[in-house]
Amino acid sequence: MGKLGGFLQIERHGVPQRDPLERAHDFHEFLLQRPVAELREQGARCMDCGVPFCHNGCPLGNLIPDWNDLVYRDRFADAIAQLHATNNFPEFTGRLCPAPCEAACVLEIREGDAVTIKQIENAIINRAWEEGWVKPQPPRPDRETAQAVAVVGSGPAGMAAAQQLRRAGHRVTLFERDEAIGGLVRFGVPDFKIEKRVVQRRVEQMLAEGVEMRCGVDVGRDIGADELLSGFDAVVLATGSRVPRDLAVPGRELDGVHFAMDYLYQRNRWVARTLEGTGELGPAPAGAQPRIEREITAAGKDVVVIGGGDTGADCVGNALREQARSVVQLELLSEPPPQRPDELTPWPLWPLKYRLSYAMEEARKLGVGEQDYSVTTTAFADDGSGALAGLRVAQALPEPPFAPVPGSERELPAQLVLLAMGFLGPEQELLDQLGVARDQRGNIKAHAPYTTSVDGVFAAGDARRGQSLIVWAINEGRQCARMVDRYLAAQRGGERPGALAAEDEAIAGHADADAGPEGPPQHVGPGIGAPEA
Ligand SMILES: Cc1cc2nc3c(=O)[nH]c(=O)nc-3n(C[C@H](O)[C@H](O)[C@H](O)COP(=O)(O)OP(=O)(O)OC[C@H]3O[C@@H](n4cnc5c(N)ncnc54)[C@H](O)[C@@H]3O)c2cc1C
Ligand code: SF4
C-alpha cells in the first residue's frame, strides 16, 4: 500500500492544466504533469483498501493500488509492467479517460477526495516512453501459428485486438479506411487532448511487432466480404458506432448545418496537414488525405453546437481555436446538480453531476461562449440565399419528449451549427454483406462473448456495445482477442505451438481471467454512451 495514513496527511492535488487563455490559441495538449516528488506523494494517498472498488470502477480492471504503491516507492519500471498487464494503451486512457475508477475510489466517499489515479497512470506511461522501457513485443518464433486474422477498423478496439493477437503468434492484418490508424482517437479527439505523435508511436510499436496495416481500404467496398472470409481464418469487426443522430426540423438542409464529426475530421486533418510534420506537432501520417468536398470553418462566425456531451465540447474547443466570434453549446436535458446526488447515483457509481468542460472553461475565460441547458431547437432560419442565419429555440420541458414550453421561443444568431447529438449505431453495409445478426439498436449482436452469428467472425468496441469510451474499447479489443485465440486454437486441434511461459500468457491476455461477455465486472460508465441530447 501507499504511505500508512498518507490519505490523512496529504491532500489531493489533481491534474494541472495550462492556462485556458493561453492554450485556446494553440493545439498542444493542455494537461500538464506534476514533478515526480509530487506524484509519489499522490500515490502515497492510496490506502490499498481491503476491497479496492477502483478495480471495479475501471473497465480494464487496472491493478490500481499496486501501481499507486510502486509510484510511491519510485519504482516506475515495475509500475509500467503492472499497468501494461491490463492496458495496451495507458497513454490514451491516462489522457482521455473520464476516470470512473476515481468515482469508485474509497476516498471519494468524501466527495472530491479520490486518489488522483488517472494522473498517476499517465505519468507512469509517459516516463516509460521517455526512458525507452516501451519496446516491441513480437511473439517468439516458435509460437508463430501461421493463422491469419483480419481486424477491420483501427480505433482503440481494433488496435488492442490486433496487438494482442499478434503477440499471441497470429498473422494480423489491420484494415482501416482512413489514411491513418487510430479511429476516433486520431480523427475525432483533437490534438489539444491527445497529440497524434502519441498515437503514432504505438502504431510504430505494432508495426515492429509484425502487425500488417492497410490504410485507405474500405472493407465491404475495396475488399468484399467473401474475400475477407475466404482469405482469413478469423475476422474481428471493430468498425465503431459512426451513424450520427440527426435533427429533423425545418431548415435542416441549409448551408451551414453540419454533423459534428464532419467538422472534427476536417479540423484534425487540418492540424495533420499544417502542424504535424513541421516539427510543431509530431510526424504527419504517410497516407494522402481525401479531397475536401466542402470546407467547414468556424472562423469569425457565430457558432452553435447542439449537444452537451464530449463531442460537442471538442467542437467548441476547435471553434475557439479558429477564433469564432461566439460559441453557444445547447443541451436538451436540464442542468445536473453541482454535487453527487446520493439518492440517484450514490458512491461508488458514476455521479451524474455538473462538470464544467475544458472547452466551456476556455470559452468563458475568453468571454465568447456559454452553455445553455433545457433548450430544444425548433427550426433553422434562412438568410434568404439558402445559407444559415440562425436558430429558433425554446425552453424544453424536463421529461421526454422534451417538448417546447409555449411562449418561450427565441432566436439565436448562427452561421454555423454543429450537430453533436450522439450516434445511432454502426454503419450497416459491411454487416449486411457478412450477414452478422444485429441487436435491437443495430449493434453487432454477440451470441457468445464477442462472437457473432457468423462462424469465425468476432466483434469488439463501439460496433458491438454502442458509442462508449476508449477504456471500454481497449477492454473489448483485449477480451475479443482472447476469444479469437481460443477459436483459432480449436481450429488447429487445440495444440499450441511452442512451450507456454506464464508471462507469455499474461502478455497475450489469456491468463485465467473470466470469460464473461464484458470481461472485468460491469460498471455504470459515464455518459458518452448515452444520447447527448
Ligand atoms: C469527438 C469524440 C470525442 C471523444 N472523446 C472521448 C474521450 O475524451 N474519452 C473517451 O474515453 N472516449 C471518447 N470518445 C469515445 C471514443 O472515442 C470511442 O468510444 C472509441 O474510439 C471507440 O473505439 P472503437 O475502436 O470501437 O471505434 P472507432 O474509434 O470509431 O474506430 C472505428 C474505426 O473503424 C474504421 N472503419 C469503419 N468501417 C470500416 C470499413 N468498412 N473498412 C475499414 N475501416 C472501417 C473507421 O474508419 C475507424 O477508424 C469520443 C468520441 C468522439 C466522437
Ligand atoms: S483506464 Fe480509466 S478507469 Fe481505468 S484506471 Fe485509468 S483512468 Fe481509471
**Whether the Cβ atoms of residue 198 and residue 91 lie closer than 8 Å to each other:** yes
The answer as to whether 381 is a domain residue is yes
Among 219, 213, 259, 255, residue whose Cα is nearest residue 235: 219
HEC profile for 211-278? Answer: CEEEECCCECCCECHHHHHHHCCEEEECCCCCEECCCCCCCCCCECEEEHHHHHHHHHHHHHHHCCCC
The answer as to whether 532 is a domain residue is no
Structural domain span for residue 324: 246-421
User: Could you tell me if the CB of 423 is within 6 A of ligand 1?
Assistant: no
Peptide bond into 98 cis (omega under 30): no
The phi-psi region of residue 216 (left if phi > 0; otherwise alpha if psi is between -120 and 50; otherwise beta) is left
Q: What is the mean pLDDT of residues 404-418?
A: 97
Greatest Cα pair distance, the chain, in angstroms, is: 75
Domain count, the chain: 3
Is the same domain home to 257 and 406? yes
Is the same domain home to 165 and 256? no
Give the pLDDT band of residue 498 (cuts 50, 70, 90). Answer: low
Is the same domain home to 176 and 60? no
Structural domain ending residue among the three candidates 99, 131, 163? 131
Give the pLDDT band of residue 3 (cuts 50, 70, 90). Answer: confident
Domain with 51 in it: what CATH number? 1.10.1060.10
The answer as to whether 454 is a domain residue is yes
Number of the ligand 2 atom closest to the C-alpha atom of 64: 5
| Burial (Cβ within 10 Å: 0-12, 13-18, ≥19) of residue 496 | middle
Least confident stretch, 354-363, 418-427, 454-463, 486-495: 486-495
**Whether the Cβ atoms of residue 256 and residue 383 lie closer than 8 Å to each other:** no
Is the same domain home to 88 and 223? no
Is the same domain home to 473 and 459? yes
Question: In whole angstroms, what is the distance from residue 267 CA to residue 263 CA?
Answer: 6
β-strand partners of 258: 418
Structural domain ending residue among the three candidates 101, 131, 161? 131
Is the same domain home to 251 and 397? yes
pLDDT at 524: 33
Q: How many residues does this entry show for the chain?
A: 533
Q: How many CB atoms lie within 10 A of CB 455?
A: 9
Q: How many CB atoms lie within 10 A of CB 269?
A: 19
How high is the mean pLDDT of the chain? 91
CA separation, residue 457 to residues 218, 437, 488 (Å): 17, 11, 11
Grid cell of 469 as nine digits: 469510451
The answer as to whether 28 is a domain residue is yes
**Chain segment 195-207, per-residue pLDDT in tens:** 999 999 999 999 9
105-109 long-range contacts (CB < 8 A, ≥24 apart) are: 105/53, 105/54, 105/57, 105/348, 106/47, 106/49, 106/52, 106/53, 106/54, 107/7, 107/12, 107/45, 107/47, 108/347, 108/348, 109/347
Is the same domain home to 469 and 481? yes
Is the same domain home to 102 and 161? no
Going by alpha carbons, the residue nearest to atom 8 of ligand 1 is: 96
The answer as to whether 32 is a domain residue is yes
Is the same domain home to 340 and 213? no
The answer as to whether 307 is a domain residue is yes
pLDDT at 59: 95
Is the same domain home to 368 and 430? no
Q: What is the mean pLDDT of residues 447-457?
A: 96
The answer as to whether 512 is a domain residue is yes
- CA–centroid distance, 427 to ligand 2, in Å, is 29
What is the model's pTM? 0.94
pLDDT at 507: 41
For residue 167, is pLDDT > 80? Answer: yes
For residue 156, is pLDDT > 50? Answer: yes
Is the same domain home to 255 and 400? yes
Query: Of 56, 60, 116, which is best to mutate to test ligand 2, by the most ligand atoms within 8 angstroms of its C-beta?
Result: 60
Which residue type does 315 have?
C
Strand, coil or helix: 306:
strand
The answer as to whether 410 is a domain residue is yes
pLDDT at 292: 87
The pLDDT > 90 percentage for the chain reads 85
User: Could you tell me if the CB of 176 is within 6 A of ligand 1?
Assistant: yes
**Chain segment 233-247, per-residue pLDDT in tens:** 999 999 999 999 999
Is the same domain home to 415 and 464? no
Domain with 349 in it: what CATH number? 3.50.50.60
Query: Of 164, 189, 222, which is best to mutate to test ligand 1, by the most ligand atoms within 8 angstroms of its C-beta?
Result: 189
